[in-house]
């Protein structure tokens, strides 16, 4: 574990070194300014935390969570990882990549949140499931009892004499969220080293592990930096409740102060018609970041989160003189599965 106390000393004790952890990323992910985007929007100075460059196949935020979760799986003698996600799930891709790296098998349950959206022959992450040797992929409809469906897979593993380890959707448990408490420390270390103080941090809010872990870490480190989540799936009140509950549980696991309910913000104006469904603002954000900065966002998470940041700048919530950090949670492999929506902006306009 990196030294969390380098250059700080003003924060509480957040000793993550006592938790077993696999390391899938050498060093820190880059923290970079986005000068061309900032100039184009004419508001705050925008920086980006490049968690799309985390380790494992094609990177993304779930890698940080899996460092802690897979360490526990290995400690329990597991030989098979079992998890769940939507079609084109980045979490499923990265869980499978971790399994491949560790010599484990992997079984996936795909929750078809939008009917008809799972296609075995699809490109993007679905292709990668096949390339990385998934043991089985089983599709269930929205509303299925996912814990029960994963238990079915776990039973199949036991039936052949194996030892399953089940990972909640998105790796969003207190143990998984530790990965983003570690990321909060990483951002603050880089902020200190670069002499760059942030007025706000913005991140996609989905299964809540990333949002909750960052929040628990920022509070534990006594940073005073507000965190804004941009929903990709649920209404604001429901999502904020989810995030707060998990942030409190994560803080409890770390032995640090519980984040207050009013520190949880998960705005829902950029979800659009629903989870994973394209929006005009997402297409604009993906195209802006690609053409102005050479950074690839994804259609489901970081594209909608960046649409939120752009929207907040345009309505004056973030303004000139401020410095905002956008946490890029990855997901770009799924861009290829959304080519029709992304290629021609007139299509969605």
- 315-337 pLDDT tens trace: 999 999 999 999 999 999 999 99
* Active-site amino acid positions: 89
| Range(s) of the domain holding residue 273 | 16-59+173-348
Rounded mean pLDDT, 168-187: 97
Enumerate residues 6+ apart whose C-beta is below 8 A from 324: 44, 45, 46, 47, 198, 199, 200, 201, 202, 309, 318
**Same-domain status, 149 and 198:** no
Count of domains forming the chain: 2
Q: Is 9 a domain residue?
A: no
Rounded mean pLDDT, 199-212: 98
- 117-169 pLDDT tens trace: 898 888 999 999 999 999 999 999 999 999 999 999 999 999 999 999 999 99
Task: Give one DSSP letter per residue of 60-100, joined into a string.
Answer: -THHHHHHHHHHHHHHTT-SEEEEEE-TT-HHHHHHHHHHH
Q: Which domain-ending residue is among 171, 205, 222?
A: 171
**Same-domain status, 88 and 125:** yes
Measure the CA–CA gap between 275 and 273, rounded to whole angstroms: 7
Residue where the block lists tokens 């401020």: 322
**Same-domain status, 39 and 90:** no
**Same-domain status, 241 and 310:** yes
Domain of residue 139, CATH code: 3.40.50.1100
pTM for the whole structure: 0.94
Range from 11-15, 18-22, 306-310 carrying the lowest mean pLDDT: 11-15
Measure the CA–CA gap between 31 and 323, rounded to whole angstroms: 13
**Same-domain status, 54 and 179:** yes
- Residue 123 per-residue DSSP state: S
250 Rama class: left (phi>0) / alpha (psi -120 to 50) / beta? alpha
Local structure of 20: helix, strand or coil = coil
Q: Which domain-ending residue is among 121, 155, 171?
A: 171
134 token code pair:
């998934």
pLDDT at 62 over 60: yes
């Amino acid at each position: 574990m990196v030294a969390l106390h380098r250059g700080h000393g003003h924060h509480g004790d957040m000793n993550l070194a006592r938790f077993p952890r696999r390391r899938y990323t050498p060093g820190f992910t880059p923290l970079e300014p986005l000068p061309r985007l900032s100039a184009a929007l004419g508001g705050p100075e925008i920086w980006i935390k490049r968690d799309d460059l985390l380790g494992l196949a094609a990177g993304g935020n779930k890698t940080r969570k899996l460092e802690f979760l897979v360490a526990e799986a290995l400690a329990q003698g597991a030989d098979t990882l079992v998890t769940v996600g939507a079609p084109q799930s980045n979490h499923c891709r990265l869980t499978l990549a971790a399994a491949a790296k560790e010599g484990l098998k992997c079984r996936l349950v795909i929750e078809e949140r939008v009917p008809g959206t799972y296609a075995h022959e699809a490109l993007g992450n679905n292709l990668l499931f096949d390339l990385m040797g998934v043991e089985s992929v089983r599709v269930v409809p929205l509303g299925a009892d996912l814990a029960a469906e994963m238990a079915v897979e776990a039973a199949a593993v036991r039936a052949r004499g194996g030892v399953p380890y089940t990972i909640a959707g998105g790796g969003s448990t207190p143990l998984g969220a530790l990965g983003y408490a570690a990321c909060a420390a990483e951002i603050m270390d880089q902020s200190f080293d670069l002499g760059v103080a942030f007025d706000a941090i913005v991140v996609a809010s989905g299964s809540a592990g990333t949002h909750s872990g960052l929040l628990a870490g920022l509070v534990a480190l006594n940073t005073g930096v507000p965190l804004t989540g941009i929903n990709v799936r649920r209404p604001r009140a429901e999502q904020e409740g989810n995030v707060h509950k998990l942030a409190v549980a994560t803080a409890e696991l770390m032995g640090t102060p519980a984040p207050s309910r009013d520190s949880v913000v998960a705005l829902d104006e950029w979800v659009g018609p629903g989870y994973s469904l394209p929006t005009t603002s997402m297409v604009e954000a993906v195209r802006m970041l690609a053409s102005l900065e050479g950074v690839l966002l994804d259609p489901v998470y970081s594209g909608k989160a960046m649409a939120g940041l752009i929207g907040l700048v345009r309505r004056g919530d973030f303004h000139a003189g401020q410095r905002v950090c956008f946490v890029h949670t990855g997901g770009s492999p799924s861009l290829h599965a959304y080519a029709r929506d992304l290629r021609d902006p007139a299509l969605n306009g």
